[in-house]
Amino acid sequence: MLTSLAIRNIVLIEALDLSFGHGLGVLTGETGAGKSILLDALGLVLGNRADNALVRGGEEQASVTATFEFEALPRAVEEALNDAEVELEPGEPLIVRRRLKADGGSKAWINDQPVGVALLRTIAGALVELHGQHDDRGLVNPRGHRALLDRYAGADVAGVRAAWDDWQAARGALEQARSGIAQAKADQDLLLAHLSELTAIEPEDGEEERLANARADMQKGEKLAGDLEDLRALWDGSDSPLASLRVAARKLDRIAEEHALLTEALGALDRAVIEAGEAEEKLQAAAEAMQHDPQELDRIETRLFELRALARKHSCQVDDLPEVIRTLRSKLDAIEQGDADLADLEAAERKAHEVYRARAEALHASRVAAAMQLDEAVAAELAPLKLDAARFRTAVNALEEERWTAGGMDSVEFLIATNPGADFAPLNKIASGGELSRFILALKVALAEQGGAATVIFDEIDRGVGGAVASAIGERLARLASEEGQLLAVTHSPQVAARGARHYLIAKSSEGTVTKTSVALLDESGRQEEIARMLSGAEVTPEARAQADRLLEGV
């Protein structure tokens, strides 16, 4: 609920700090004293458009700070704060601040963390519900009527929403499968052509690297062919260096025992023969590896060209071509299997649709029954509020299937007819300001709504009525306040004011050319004097005070 409101430099208010509590709080004062300024200030901190005309004359900026405290933070507020990454400790008050500059522009904070004004508008509905002369939100807005009726009925909305989600998931899977199969069938001839082209070449894993290495070796062999031939000529024949070394080794072997140095020379010569032999083998192997075969080189280059051309065609690497083949075969297999899978998906979608329809129809029946009960409950509240000629109806209309949603297959709207024989129409299209507020009061009493805004404000709900009707309004406001937790009423009626648990007097004063608005929390004697003023006018008489005492004692 709203626990405090701090206003600085808003129109006629220089500095004002108000505290609020549970139950019914009433705000009274003479016409023009500045009651609307309080509501404008509260609207500013709840995200209303920033109008720099609200800044007090001669000041550079204005600000409003509202503090809310809850046993448990409203779920809508918690979710919005989480989405905006605004941190709030459990049990910590929610402090919303808005600053407005005289030259335009505004900034907002929640618990000293900068936020966008859009976030204030998002959470406003869960914090304060305002019913005024020109209110187009709250109970007047048809978009919230279905949820109100569902809460009144205790309807199984969650079950319908779950069934809707299941149906939409099955529907999406079916549509995706149909689209995929249709596209695959349209591409079937192309898939077959691509597969035939690829399988004719039969690309292998790692083939490009092997072919490229072989081609490089053959190109090197072509380049080194003359040098290799010259080297081979040196090693071949009886007069080659290697043959001479071997002859020398044999001759030295016969005399090596004659001297130690000859033995060492023989060992060195044997090693030279061995190394030379290994060199000969390496040269032979290299010549064979780099053997230049023009036909084989042409075949390798043709093969590489074909593989790389296919890779470009399929926008992949050559080594990915085998995977492309597998993918094409998988798509063609899916076309063949698609019709069987499609039948299963169609059956699942039909079943999910039937479950949703059954739950939505049960919800519709629940809404229709609850609408009849609500109409009777509201009708019982109209006569005491001087609306006995009016009629109220909760319209539950079945929607066409393409307009079904997670909320069911109905639209719900609260309608009224203010005169006998008149057609029913939306609340804000028919009722005048005072009538509209009383209709809303009757509706809220009938709904005995739980889970609405933390704070409910009625602005001049008693406009144009008095006596017994005003007493009936006051009694219902007090009863509603005990159920809702906190309700504030701006009133001109002494009967309503007498019902308040807290009474605030709004007054305007002037000093020279400076005019200020102030608000004071009244004690018992102050309440008596203010209610007496409301009864008698400018001059408070003893009779008015006595009547004020009777009103206060009567509650």
57 lies in some domain: no
363 lies in some domain: no
Determine the pLDDT at residue 449: 57
Q: Provide the mean pLDDT of the chain.
A: 85
CA 20 vs CA 66, 67, 91, 534: distances in Å: 11, 10, 18, 23
Mean pLDDT, to the nearest integer, of 243-253? 80
Q: Are 465 and 493 in contact (CB under 8 A)?
A: yes
324 lies in some domain: yes
The DSSP 8-state label assigned to residue 400 in this structure reads P
Least confident residue range of 197-201, 249-253, 324-328, 368-372: 249-253
409 lies in some domain: no
Q: Are 66 and 96 in contact (CB under 8 A)?
A: yes
Determine the pLDDT at residue 432: 61
- Where residue 138 falls among pLDDT bands split at 50, 70, 90? low
- Where residue 46 falls among pLDDT bands split at 50, 70, 90? very high
CA 324 vs CA 177, 194, 241, 327, 330: distances in Å: 22, 10, 57, 5, 10
Determine the pLDDT at residue 161: 95
Res. 540: pLDDT tops 90: no
For 482-518, give the DSSP string: HHHSEEEEE-S-HHHHTT-SEEEEEEEEEETTEEEEE
Q: What is the pLDDT of residues 486-534, one digit of tens each?
A: 899 999 899 999 999 999 999 888 776 677 888 899 999 999 999 999 8
464 lies in some domain: no
Determine the pLDDT at residue 50: 86
Res. 352: pLDDT tops 90: yes
Determine the pLDDT at residue 81: 92
Q: What is the pLDDT of residues 171-218, one digit of tens each?
A: 999 998 888 778 777 777 888 888 899 988 889 888 888 898 888 877
Mean pLDDT, to the nearest integer, of 366-383? 92
Determine the pLDDT at residue 316: 92
Mean pLDDT, to the nearest integer, of 115-120? 94
65 lies in some domain: no
Res. 282: pLDDT tops 60: yes
Least confident residue range of 219-228, 266-275, 314-323: 219-228
Least confident residue range of 10-24, 88-102, 124-138: 124-138
Mean pLDDT, to the nearest integer, of 32-60? 87
Determine the pLDDT at residue 513: 62
Q: Are 362 and 156 in contact (CB under 8 A)?
A: yes
- Where residue 111 falls among pLDDT bands split at 50, 70, 90? very high
Instruction: Name residues whose C-beta falls within 8 Å of residue 347's C-beta, 6 or more positions apart in sequence.
Output: none
Which of 15-24, 401-410, 424-433, 505-514 is predicted most confidently? 401-410
Structural domain of 284: 190-332
For 403-471, give the DSSP string: G-BTTBSEEEEEEEE-STTPPPEEHHHH--HHHHHHHHHHHHHHHT--SS-SEEEEESTTTT--HHHHH
User: How many domains does the structure of the chain reveal?
Assistant: 1
Determine the pLDDT at residue 136: 47
Higher pLDDT, 515 or 262: 262
CA 372 vs CA 375, 377, 392: distances in Å: 5, 9, 10
Res. 247: pLDDT tops 90: no
Higher pLDDT, 496 or 449: 496
Helix (H) or strand (E) run with residue 30 in it? none
Minimal CA–CA distance to 476: which of 444, 449, 452? Answer: 444
Q: What distance lies between CA 391 and its chain's CA centroid?
A: 40
**CA distance from start to end of the chain:** 24
Q: What is the pLDDT of residues 283-342, one digit of tens each?
A: 777 766 666 677 888 888 899 999 999 999 999 999 999 999 998 888 887 777 777 778
456 lies in some domain: no
Res. 379: pLDDT tops 50: yes
258 lies in some domain: yes
Q: What share of the chain has pLDDT > 70, as a percent?
A: 91
Res. 434: pLDDT tops 90: no
